Chains A and B, each alone.
Chain A
């Protein structure tokens, strides 16, 4: 049942105002919940554990991304939510209702397929109308909704074309309109942009975000492209080998990666080994390989004397004079100019290589040369202590 519209109106108006500023209001209500879900394919020696005891909560109105390399289980999780696969163990709740063993046609979720899967024997408009007709909507309502959806995806003019007579980008839009037309509680998108070329992909990223804001439908988006995930998502779940490693906003994921895999998969990272020398509660001090000790929050279980790995983003390192203020010293081994910024490869005294990225805000200046000795400074909060 649909929540009464009138009661939610003031809030909705506020929503709209915020959305005009590009802010998405994610409600606290839960749209999808996976509880201890495992999926095993095959049996015996050929057994593959595609998902290993995964739990995740996806909120209403959220643009939620499942991000990970191929084979990490992200598509399997999506298919479990859609109903194309049944979980081996665990439960899947949609709007608080157990759906794990319902067939796809009984779940109020729709999917945008990677290859679009448009019906080749139907026109664009017939494709968009299909879901509504199967739900038994009246003719007038179907026509009205189809028109509105085609307008949303800007495909009104091509509504009578066969799907084989339109381009890949247009097929993508039709697939979106078809999946959105029945107003699903959740829209599932299975790497929908991977078949498009770069320019179209960038356009569609913005379009998708716009559609999500306009419709207010929960989007669950599967991708292996970290940039796509960072630019579009409200929250991201990073997956690897059938597990969810971290769930958080793009900033959290990028600035505070929980472990080495997340830090490495998203963006570029320098990994530096260090040692905890003091710890009282979360406050502690860590000793860098250069021997310098810095105060630092430690949120992992690492005790005094234990070795930890720090993740430091290349753009969070400052190049300074090699004096007492520097956290590290090293020698410039390579300089690469990228236009917007310049990347310096520096060999530390410990022998480890570190990448530093500087924006060319004042234009590129050849201050440093290969072979120069420099100091490196990192703000303590830019050093992320990783989970083991």
Chain B
């Protein structure tokens, strides 16, 4: 058979494999969403459509409490880590290469490479010492931990955008009498903005999503939404879990869509 060029779509079995992957990815999620509307108390036997689990989830004070805490932690972590990541990205792309730049790059990305459970255990022990010394058991431990592991996620899109940016633009600004601060304010920052937003949103989603580190670091009564759900599932599974998951999913999809649109724009 004569073919003009290689086309993956014409390979035998391509459609089958693709369909299989899609089903494996989305069938469980679809099931989860469908059963969140179950009128019965089972997560596996359909008994008709109802909003009752959404109502009960929203009315559940523990869920409200955990959700608010999750948003506070994620907002704080995203905000602080994005600022740190922006500064780190500027320092690793807008300076002359210096000795130790590879080391700095590696340490910024450390949370991506070290297994999460290791970081979690390390933080647990470290914070335990501080707790004993100071007696403080507030939210600060979670805020610090989340900020730290969010930095590389915020850093990557910002750095990518900086690297794609034409250096001669900043040179042109300096040539036109802009001091380094004004060059940053009027040229670098406006052009970097989509990258910063994308980094911030990625950090927000990552923080919102975290289970392992949160589970190990949190003090009593400091459940976030994911750790609350995990705790509930050890007892009885009702479609209330499905309802919370579905809302969670919707928020994630929304954030990822905005992230995608931001990245596509102007690049």
Contact = CB atoms under 8 A, between A and B. Distances in A.
Given A104-B171, A113-B168, A121 B176 contact: no
Given A119-B187, A121-B190, A110 B178 contact: no
Nearest to B191: A121
Contacts of A83: 174-175
A337 interface: no
A115 to B, nearest CB: 6
A134 B177 contact: yes
B188 to A, nearest CB: 11
B68 interface: no
A117 B177 contact: no
Interface residues of A, number: 23
Given A105-B178, A131-B177, A134-B177, A120 B171 contact: no
A115 B167 CA distance: 11
Contacts of A178: 176
Interface string B150-176: 000000000000000010110111111
Interface in B167-208: 168-169, 171-179, 182-183, 186-187, 190-191
Nearest to B168: A117
Interface string A309-324: 0000000000000000
Contact of B175 (A105, A115, A121, A135): A105
Interface in A109-164: 109-111, 113, 115, 117-121, 130-131, 134-135
A82 B190 CA distance: 25
A119 to B, nearest CB: 6
Interface in A169-210: 178-179, 182
Interface string A81-112: 01110000000000000000001110001110
A7 B170 CA distance: 39
B177 A111 contact: no
A82 to B, nearest CB: 6
A83 B183 CA distance: 15
Given A105-B174, A117-B171, A120-B191, 17 more contacts: A82-B175, A83-B174, A84-B171, A84-B175, A103-B174, A105-B177, A109-B175, A111-B172, A113-B172, A115-B168, A117-B166, A118-B172, A119-B187, A130-B178, A131-B177, A179-B175, A182-B176
30 contacts: A83-B175, A84-B171, A84-B174, A104-B174, A104-B175, A105-B174, A105-B178, A105-B183, A111-B172, A113-B168, A113-B171, A117-B166, A117-B168, A117-B169, A117-B171, A118-B172, A119-B172, A119-B173, A119-B187, A130-B173, A130-B176, A130-B178, A130-B186, A134-B173, A134-B176, A134-B177, A135-B177, A179-B175, A179-B176, A182-B176
A83 B171 CA distance: 10
Contacts of A110: 175-176
Contacts of B171: 84, 104, 111, 113, 117
Contacts of A111: 171-172, 175
Contacts of A105: 174-179, 183
Nearest to A115: B168
Given A121-B191, A130-B173, A115 B166 contact: yes
A182 B191 CA distance: 24
A44 to B, nearest CB: 15
Interface of A: 82-84, 103-105, 109-111, 113, 115, 117-121, 130-131, 134-135, 178-179, 182
B178 to A, nearest CB: 5
B185 to A, nearest CB: 11
B182 A134 contact: yes
A118 B168 CA distance: 9
B165 to A, nearest CB: 10
What 3 A-B pairs come out closest when comparing CB atoms? A131-B176, A117-B168, A134-B177
Given A121-B190, A121-B191, A134 B178 contact: yes
Nearest to B167: A117
A119 B187 CA distance: 7
B153 to A, nearest CB: 26
A182 B177 contact: yes
A117 B172 contact: yes
Contacts of B169: 117, 119-120
Nearest to B165: A120
A6 B21 CA distance: 82
A200 B178 CA distance: 32
A378 B190 CA distance: 65
Contacts of A117: 166, 168-169, 171-172
Interface in B197-247: none
A111 B172 CA distance: 7
